[in-house]
Chain A
Amino acid sequence: MKFSRVDQADETILQVEGVLDALTAPEIRPTIDALVSERRKSIVVDVSSLRLIDSSGVGVIVGLSKRCKAYGGMVRVSGLKNQPLAIFKLLRLDRVFCP
């Protein structure tokens, strides 16, 4: 997995590529913690280059969203397709993160 963070004013784009799963989720957690500690208001998780996600990866994004909401921030997910889209639809997360 590769990921990158770009801040544009109040918005942060977190681009995640490859596989976000039980093996790779721990790699991105420090960045997630930093976004929360900086109280970033608007976070877009760009998964357009994400090939595969599992329940551990989903847990990372849901956890980020809950922590952001606690201080008035919000998380959106963009670029969902293929297997990640199937998972988000099954868990009804497409309605939550892609309004």
Chain B
Amino acid sequence: MIRLRMPSRLEYRDLAIRTVASACKLVPDGGDDFHNGVISAFSEALNNVILHGYGPAVGEVEIEIEPRQDRLIIRLMDYGKTFDPRLAPLPDLDNLPESGLGVFIMRSFMDDISYAGGAPNMLSMTKLSHPNKRGP
């Protein structure tokens, strides 16, 4: 398990993303598509916490990264506003939206997303290295 605790500021985004990118390499068979999907989804999840969860206030974000044999599990914990990404509306891609894409990106690239609001809010995202071979 890899743990990272950081201020909810965009300046720390790159550090967190590089950490997750390195963790992707610890999942056997996690190829380019796996890496690109995880990084894209995590990037949006972190944006949501920093920009919408905390807004101008600066709080703390805790990130747990759990590389397993067949999957990568990422948990983000924060004490900002509760926001369940599973309830966000899907964008109308035909109209070329300029915003409101983040949750769609998260949901599309990850195999499972769960959320529990509270103190802290906890978003858990899982990406399988081989989605067609779901294990227990």
Q: Give how many A residues have a beta carbon under 8 Å from the other chain's beta carbons.
A: 24
Q: Which residues in A have their C-beta under 8 angstroms from that of B93?
A: 91-92
Q: Which residues in B have their C-beta under 8 angstroms from that of A87?
A: 40, 105
Q: Chain A interface: which of B9-17, B115-123, B125-133?
A: B9-17
Cα–Cα, bound, A60→B103 (Å): 18
Is B102 an interface position by the 8 A CB rule?
yes
Q: Give how many B residues have a beta carbon under 8 Å from the other chain's beta carbons.
A: 28
Is A4 an interface position by the 8 A CB rule?
no
| The one of A19, A86, A93 that contacts B40, using a Cβ cutoff of 8 Å | A86
Q: Which residues in B have their C-beta under 8 angstroms from that of A86?
A: 33, 36-37, 40, 109
Is B19 an interface position by the 8 A CB rule?
no
Is B108 an interface position by the 8 A CB rule?
yes
Contact A55 B39 (CB under 8 A): no
Is A63 an interface position by the 8 A CB rule?
yes
Cα–Cα, bound, A66→B11 (Å): 29
Contact A52 B10 (CB under 8 A): no
Question: A-B pairs with the 10 shortest C-beta distances?
Answer: A55-B101, A86-B36, A23-B10, A59-B98, A83-B36, A55-B102, A54-B43, A63-B98, A62-B98, A22-B47
The chain A residues found within 8 Å of chain B, CB to CB, are 19, 21-23, 52, 54-56, 58-59, 62-63, 65-66, 82-83, 85-87, 90-93, 96
